[in-house]
Structure 1
Amino acid sequence: MSAPLLGQMMDVPLTVSSLIAHAARHHGSTEIVSRRIEGDIHRYTWRECETRAKQLAQALRALGVEPGERVATLAWNGYRHVEAYFGVTGFGAVCHTINPRLFPEQIAWIVNHADDRYVLFDTTFAPLVDLLATQCPNVRGWIALCDEAHRPDLRTEVRCYETLLDAQDGQYAWPELDEKQASNLCYTSGTTGNPKGALYTHRSSVLHAYAAALPDAMSLSARDAILPVVPMFHVNAWGIPHATALAGTKLVLPGKDLDGKSLYELMEAERVTASAGVPTVWLGLLTYMRDAGVRFSTLERTVIGGSACPPAMLRAFEDDYGVQVIHAWGMTEMSPLGTLSKLNWEQSQRPLEARRALLEKQGRVIYGVDMKIVGDDGRELPWDGVAFGDLHVRGPWVIDRYFRQDGGHESGQDSAQRGASPLVDGWFPTGDVATIDPDGFLHITDRSKDVIKSGGEWISSIDLENIAVAHPGIAEAACIACAHPRWTERPLIVAVKKPGAAVTRDELLAFFTGKVAKWWLPDDVTFVDELPHTATGKLQKLKLREQFRDYVLPSALAVAGCPLDDEPAHADKPLAQRE
């Protein structure tokens, strides 16, 4: 057999530094606007951002940071954080973004597990640094993202970011790196057990940036101004800092003020055309706009992810404010983008309600991601929109294994020390339960640990939550499984009323009638003042399940004798005959 014929193209590595170099050279006058921790609005350009990123690279090298070592951040969305994204990775070190909303014990565990050498932090987290410093002995230094005038008064010795940069001239050439070198490190939220680290490469980060900017993804261009509400400490702000550098997009950063009024005013002042964030943030923004009687003048679209977007929220954005909602799904292990709800030409010609039925799902994959659903026997299930299965994915920005999962140090190609791979036949099991319809649209019905198994069949807690929050008197709702002596599990709705709403248990239960199969109908409703959330804004169902572990459903009281009239309609029927 003859040798393969090789192409004759330049072998230019895909590196994160090439993104900022492109933005500075070809979109150098485009603005990056930040609401600073200091309280004012800061403006500069992509060209100035690259110069300061180079100064940061020089400063870290002067401090002795070597390629491959980790430099962490505890910071909001701001221009200095953007500089860290590129300055740390540009010379071969790894930028490790940490979620400051985690418990201090979790953060300390993450810092130690990552073996971070330096930690860059916004001054709002100064008290947290004093807590962490004594628990993280291997950190060589803590760097406050400020100038000397704003240096925090701490027990811990800290350096000032601006002082370090001022000592450097920015005359630095980005080194050529192997595109398979590590670039960024993100940890999962750790809702069960310790968080796990996803270690991205330069190649995966650049490919992900390309995908995020695609028309069927976030549709970013040099004509846009985007305000990412999703934090830069949450899976690299869904890749937006990288994608905006690639596209030459104006970047507007909100800092720590994420209330509805602050976001609306910044969007209007900077003529923002696109945004991205989790449903809980948009709930606050929509509430402010409704109460204030204001409208958007430039916002065209927003990406909603992190948890399922309630259909009522999608309709409010589109019907009341003319803003396109792009429903997205992904995870830390996927860098994070997987699917987005964009219609193709044929789908866009369908009647309004048919289009909305698709857009309420998590969408279809973008190039670079493949997916399938499998049954308990591991066999792939059909894309019929009915079959539920465990969701598996693969692609060039999906992890191969977790970082130092076995507790040992990384060591190049030594797979034994890199930890065992979680892949199944080359696919990553996401832990989600989903359907895929004939259009290729994904519908996440639950996390595998949250799905309700009643009488041997699955009930989607997410679908029931979406119905609950569509009620005009409900602000937020969670659906969890409660133990049932006959059906094993039945659904309980835990809901938060809107201020002043007088909705009752029976009224909310009646609201479900006709919207789902009878055996899906919740058995009970209980109202609470607030629901627990994870550090990334997701409903913390594990805590809810613990809180309501001993809750007795009305239908469970009949198990000793007479069945209740409102028991599930799938009783005593073969599976094929159940509604």
Structure 2
Amino acid sequence: MTAPTAPLLGQMMDVPLLVSSLIAHAARHHGSAQIVSRRIEGDIHRYTYRECEARSKQLAQALIALGVEPGERVATLAWNGYRHMEAYFGVTGFGAVCHTVNPRLFPEQIAWIVNHADDRYVLFDTTFAALVDALAPQCPRVRGWIALCDEAHRPAMRTPVLCYETLLAVQDGVFDWPLLDERSASNLCYTSGTTGNPKGALYTHRSSVLHAYAASLPDSIALSARDALLPVVPMFHVNAWGIPHAAPLNGTKLVLPGKDLDGQSLYELMEAEGVTCSAGVPTVWLGLLTYMREAGVKFSTLNRTVIGGSACPPAMLRTYEDDYGVQVIHAWGMTEMSPLGTLAKLNWEQAQRPLAEQRALLEKQGRVIFGVDMKIVGDDGRELPWDGVAFGDLHVRGPWVIDRYYRQEAGTPLIDGWFPTGDVATIDPDGFLHITDRSKDVIKSGGEWISSIDLENIAVAHPAIAEAACIACAHPRWTERPLIVAVKKPGAQVSREELLAFFDGKVVKWWLPDDVVFVDELPHTATGKLQKLKLRERFRDHVLPTALAAAEQCPMEPLDLRTNDRDEGAGAADHVKSAALRD
């Protein structure tokens, strides 16, 4: 038996994939490309990638002078702006970890996150001065708080703070980005955490650069040096979906909107800067759509946008494309995936199909981009077929998917090398993913599943409805039945009976909602997602008319009309397949 021969190794340069290489590339090869920011101070700031790298190097020098070591965490509490962009590279460039903190979380959660991450310094926009005053006593291990401003705009605070521009001014910017191990940590993001404490996803330089490549692909966001890109998705939320990394990779003009994300502010900035591409959650695009309708305006340059974070209502998708000429790219991902996973774009063959079939595909979450693999599994853990009918728990894997949470090294969330997302989904023969629910939100009626997302999309398609959520209510016969909680458009009128009738013929009969409740507004998480936990708590004692009728028919059975308790931290739902409910 002969000994195995050693593999023939290639003879290519071993150049590490580093976040600093992205801004270095942009400065060297797209040096005059612009980064435009609406500042907290109220004016428009404009400079180039070349200047951005120079100031990022000054920041690196300043942090090193303050004693920050490679591997230590430096946090940000900031909007989308040029100084936040500099932190993305100035912190990570010398080996520290840029920890973007969501300022929309509850102060107690923010304090917990800062302490859990063991942040050494926190960079903050001046709009968060009061928040910092509240946080500082709760975060004793933070060495210093740095206000992202000059001395003239330094806020009056109880907390001693350093001034960002003063720190940079004493540095000369003569600094070479060090060659780091590409597997060293670069960025830290925490999940929004609907229950329990948020969990940290610690990204590497390698994963971040690979993710930036993937975000730039033609079947992804399709960025180029000819684009002007405005990320509405915040830089404090999953690295703004990787856009601060992907934009310099391509030399893309970057337009950063600051704190003003109302429809008028966004529209005016897009028009003034010739924005061609954008990205954000559905609630933002709903606000922009409302403004444009009321103002009677249209886009002159915007041609596409990525919508993710939660399912985009098909009615909104069609309105943007039909009425405003904007291609909507439906996307899906999560913090644990850096976040991009799938995007809805058609291949050549699919684009030849009838328009109705094309739109049915585009309303789904799309196909995976290279680097991500996915599957759906049943109760027994076996993979289910890609037939568009079978639905189960969605699992993913790839080089920018986490294998464990930060500081939870003792345990891994992986199942046979796959990350369980907590989503329930189908995958069709075209490979298009359709998220039917979160496992904790799926409605289990008589042992069968009802997709709350599908019912929400139908409700929002009604011309009088601005936003809707579907939650489960207890039922003495079927265990759970769907309740629609809806918000009417300003001045619109629609009755409970009219909205219920709107569902007829659009879903099978046993999916039809049992009741409708109208509210002034729906609760959202800090990242714009519907907070169904709060809705379930609010309507815990809601009595469905059908539940009363069923109770009268079964007087011997105890009637408990409270919403079933759900384990919000649970993974897969109990997938019971029975034929209890049929047409």
**TM-score range with shorter-chain normalisation?**
over 0.9
CA distance in 2, matches of 1:533, 1:282: 15
Structure 2 residue 471 is matched with structure 1 residue 480: yes
Contact persistence 2:446–2:580 (CA under 8 A): no
- 1:575 aligned to 571, 576, 579, which one? 579
**Structure 2 residues without counterparts, runs of 5 or longer:** 555-576
Conserved 8 A contact 1:402-1:419 = no
**Cα shift readout 1:158-196 (whole Å, capped 9, x = no counterpart):** 000000000100000000000000000000001011000
1:268 and 1:474 map into 2 onto residues whose CA distance is: 28
> Any idea what the Cα deviations from partners look like across 1:557-576, whole Å, max 9, x if unmatched?
1223438xxxxxxxxx9729
For residues 16-53 of structure 1, give each alpha carbon's deviation from its aligned partner in whole angstroms, at most 9, with x where no partner exists: 00000000000000000000000000000000000000
Give the residue type in structure 1 aligned to 2:219: D
Q: 1: distance between equivalents of 2:522 and 2:250? A: 38
Q: Do structure 1's residue 100 and structure 2's residue 103 form an aligned pair? A: yes
| Counterpart in the other structure of 1:44 | 47
* Residue equivalent to 1:319: 322
The aligned residue for residue 443 of structure 2 is 452
Residue 116 of structure 1 pairs with residue 107 of structure 2 = no
- What is aligned with 1:378? 381
SS at match of 1:393: strand
Query: How much has 1:502 moved relative to structure 2?
Result: 1.1
Question: Secondary structure of the residue that 1:559 maps to in structure 2?
Answer: helix
For 2:493 and 2:334, the matched residues in 1 are separated by 37
Q: Are the equivalent residues in 1 in contact too, given 2:510–2:581 (CA < 8 A)?
A: no
Distance in 1 between residues matched to 2:256 and 2:123, nearest whole Å: 18
Q: Which amino acid aligns with 1:18?
A: S
Aligned to 1:160: 163
* 1:83 equivalenced with 2:74 (yes/no): no
Q: What residue number does 1:310 align with?
A: 313
- Checking the alignment, whether the CA contact within 8 Å between 2:68 and 2:96 is kept in structure 1 is yes
Q: Is the 8 A contact 1:473 1:501 kept in 2?
A: yes
* 1:57 matches 2:60: yes
Match of 2:343 in 1: 340
In structure 1, runs of 5+ residues without a counterpart are 406-417, 564-572
* Alignment match, 1:411: none
The alignment's TM-score, normalised by the length of structure 1, stands at 0.96
* Structure 1 Cα separation of the partners of residues 341 and 275 of structure 2: 25
Q: Deviations over 1:196-223 (max 9, x none)?
A: 0000000000000000010000000000
2: CA distance between counterparts of 1:29 and 1:372?
A: 44
8 A contact 2:18–2:209 mirrored in 1: yes
- Paired residue secondary structure (2:349): helix
| 2:72 equivalent among 52, 69, 74 | 69
- Paired amino acid for 1:67: P
Q: Deviations over 1:494-522 (max 9, x none)?
A: 00001111100000000000000100000
CA offset digits 1:99-153 (Å, max 9, x no partner):
0000000000000000000000000000000000000000000000000000010
Overall identity of the aligned pairs, in % = 87
2:280 matches 1:296: no
Q: Does 1:241 align with 2:227?
A: no
Code of the residue aligned with 2:35 in structure 1: it is I
Within 5 Å, which residues of 2 pair with 1:166-315? Answer: 166-315=169-318
Aligned position for 1:440: 431
Match of 1:350 in 2: 353
| Partner Cα distance (2:258, 2:355) in 1 | 37
Partner of 2:494: 503
The residue aligned with 1:568 is none
Taking the aligned partners of 1:561 and 1:282, their CA distance within structure 2 comes to 45
Q: Which residue of 2 aligns with 1:408?
A: none
TM-score, normalised by the number of residues in structure 2: 0.95
Give the letter aligned to residue 582 of structure 2: R
* Alignment-derived partner of residue 563 in structure 2: none
CA distance in 1 between partners of 2:493 and 2:206 (Å): 54
Residue aligned with 2:402, SS:
coil
Cα distance in 1, alignment partners of residues 112 and 460 from structure 2: 36
Contact 1:36–1:42 (Cα < 8 Å) also in 2: yes
Q: In structure 1, the residue corresponding to 2:485 is in which secondary structure?
A: strand
1:148 aligns with 2:139: no
In 1: Cα distance, 2:318 partner to 2:5 partner: 59
The answer to whether the 8 Å contact 1:403/1:419 transfers is no
What secondary structure sits across from 1:28 in the alignment? coil
Query: Could you tell me which residue of structure 2 aligns to residue 4 of structure 1?
Result: 7
Distance 1:532 1:561 in 2: 34
Q: Which amino acid aligns with 2:418?
A: W
